[in-house]
């Protein structure tokens, strides 16, 4: 854990915190569904997919921003990665809001 704390850039750590938040939220939603029931199933799906989708997009952003991976993403600057992240999130949440009911 200390290796993580030392070796990772601040930006990445902030992103990781965000990813942790999304993960916890998704897990809680899933736990609720298991425990209490699927009554507004569409709402559950919508929230869960929002969590999962955001997590995935966040991971993508993290991979693209990480300086250690610079070799593999020659054409994509961190700014471009961030813009893609925002764009994809917009579309994802458009669908999510449509579905949440």
Residues that bind other proteins (CB under 8 A): 10, 13-14, 17-18, 20-21, 24-25, 28-29, 32, 36-37, 39, 77, 79-80, 82-83, 86, 90, 93-94, 97-98, 100
Output 31 or 63, the one with its CB closest to other proteins.
31
Picking from 29, 37, 34, the residue whose alpha carbon sits closest to that of residue 96 is 29
Residue 74 dihedral angles phi and psi, to the nearest 5°: -65, -45
Alpha-carbon torsion angle 4, 7, 12, 18, nearest 10: 20
Closest to other proteins by CB, 63 vs 86, is 86
Pick 63 or 94: Cβ nearer other proteins: 94
């Amino acid at each position: 854990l200390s290796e993580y704390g030392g070796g990772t850039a601040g930006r990445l750590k902030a992103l990781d915190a965000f990813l942790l938040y999304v993960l916890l939220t998704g897990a809680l939603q899933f736990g609720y569904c298991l425990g209490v029931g699927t009554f507004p199933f569409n709402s559950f799906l919508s929230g869960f997919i929002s969590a999962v989708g955001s997590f995935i997009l966040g991971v993508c952003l993290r991979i693209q921003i990480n300086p250690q991976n610079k070799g593999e993403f020659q054409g994509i600057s961190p700014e471009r990665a961030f813009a893609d992240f925002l764009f994809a999130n917009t579309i994802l949440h458009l669908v999510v809001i449509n579905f949440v009911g």
